[in-house]
Amino acid sequence: MFKQNQVAEINAIIEKIEKAVKPNCEIGAREKVVLQTILKTNKVEKIAKFFPCRREYSDAIVAHFVNEKGLIKNRFSSHSQPFIFLLL
């Protein structure tokens, strides 16, 4: 599905995210401004930590953490977004 250089890029992003993962956090993909607005509107008190990525990689990265690491996919997550977020 992905070329070798793309896999290396995805793995680098996954490593950064793994360092920040904590128990009971949620993962998703969304634009920064949009997610921050949604969190304020819904009065969610969790803190979002963002990781930049290419839009075509966001679905694969989120799926990796949901399927392999057992994280919960956040309900505000969307497809093909420029940032991966963790709600801590």
Residue 49 exposed, middle or buried by CB count within 10 Å (0-12, 13-18, 19+): middle
pLDDT tens-digit series, residues 11-44 = 999 999 999 999 899 999 999 999 999 999 999 9
Band (84; pLDDT cuts 50, 70, 90): very high
Q: Which amino acid is present at 15?
A: E
Angstrom distance (rounded) from CA 53 to CA 2: 15
> Is it the case that residue 1 has pLDDT exceeding 90?
no
Q: To the nearest whole number, what is the mean pLDDT of the chain?
A: 95
Angstrom distance (rounded) from CA 4 to CA 88: 32
∠ CA 44-88-21, rounded to 5°? 155
Q: The pTM is what?
A: 0.92
Domain assignment of residue 11, given as a range: 4-87
Number of domains in the chain: 1
Count, residues in the chain: 88
